[in-house]
Amino acid sequence: MNYRNVNDLSRLITRHAGQIPIDVDLVVGIPRSGMLVASLVSLKLNLPLTDLYSFLRNDDIKRGDTRQYKHAQLIKPLEARKILLVDDSIASGKSMARAAAQVNELFHGSVCTLVAFAERHNTQAVDMYLELVEQPRVFEWNIMHHHYISHACVDIDGVLCVDPVPPDADDGPNYQQLLANASPLFIPSIKASRLVTTRFERYRSDTEAWLQRHGVEYDSLHMFPDVPEDQRRQPGAKIRFKARIYREDPHCVLFIESEETHASGIMQLADKPVFCIENNEMYVPGASFGAFKAQAMRKSRSFVRKCSERLASLWTGRSSIG
Residue 317 lies in a domain: no
Does one domain contain both 171 and 288?
A: yes
Residue 302 lies in a domain: no
Secondary structure class of 99 (helix, strand, coil)? helix
The helix or strand, by DSSP H or E, that contains position 179, with its residue range, turns out to be helix 173-181
- The residue that leads in pLDDT, 245 or 308, is 245
How far CA 184 is from CA of 163, 169, 259, in Å, comes to 10, 17, 17
Residue 322 lies in a domain: no
Asked whether residue 313 carries a pLDDT value surpassing 70, the answer given is no
Domain-ending residue, one of 93, 120, 138? 138
Does one domain contain both 128 and 151?
A: no
Nearest to 190 by CA among 141, 150, 138: 150
Does one domain contain both 126 and 194?
A: no
Does one domain contain both 155 and 65?
A: no
pLDDT in tens, 73-115: 899 999 999 999 999 999 999 999 999 999 999 999 999 999 9
What's the domain range around 112?
2-138
How far CA 206 is from CA of 158, 165, 241, in Å, comes to 17, 17, 21
Residue 112 lies in a domain: yes
Residue 236 lies in a domain: yes
Residue 49 lies in a domain: yes
CATH number at residue 171: 3.40.50
Domain-ending residue, one of 138, 161, 179? 138
A 10 A CB-CB count for 241 gives 19
Asked whether residue 197 carries a pLDDT value surpassing 80, the answer given is yes
Does one domain contain both 160 and 291?
A: yes
First-last CA distance in the chain: 59
Residue 311 lies in a domain: no
pLDDT of residue 320: 40
CATH number at residue 13: 3.40.50.2020
Does one domain contain both 59 and 125?
A: yes
Does one domain contain both 130 and 218?
A: no
CA 59 to chain centre: 30
pLDDT in tens, 5-17: 999 999 999 999 9
**What percent of the chain has a predicted confidence (pLDDT) above 70?**
86
Residue 191 lies in a domain: yes
Does one domain contain both 50 and 129?
A: yes
How many residues can be counted in the chain? 322
How far CA 150 is from CA of 11, 120, 191, 219, 318, in Å, comes to 31, 27, 6, 9, 63
- Helices 6-16, 33-45: axis angle to 10 degrees equals 40
DSSP percent split of the chain into helix, strand, coil, nearest 5: 45, 20, 35
Does one domain contain both 147 and 287?
A: yes
**CA-based R_g, the chain, Å:** 24
How far CA 258 is from CA of 1, 51, 84, 147, 150, in Å, comes to 19, 33, 37, 20, 18
Secondary structure class of 138 (helix, strand, coil)? strand
CA pair distance 161, 173, nearest whole angstrom? 19
Domain-ending residue, one of 98, 114, 138? 138
Does one domain contain both 106 and 156?
A: no
Does one domain contain both 117 and 16?
A: yes
Amino acid (one-letter) located at 179: L
Could you tell me which residues are beta bridge partners of residue 224? 200
Tell me how many domains the chain contains: 2
pLDDT of residue 172: 75
Does one domain contain both 55 and 177?
A: no
pLDDT of residue 233: 77
pLDDT in tens, 218-231: 999 999 999 887 77
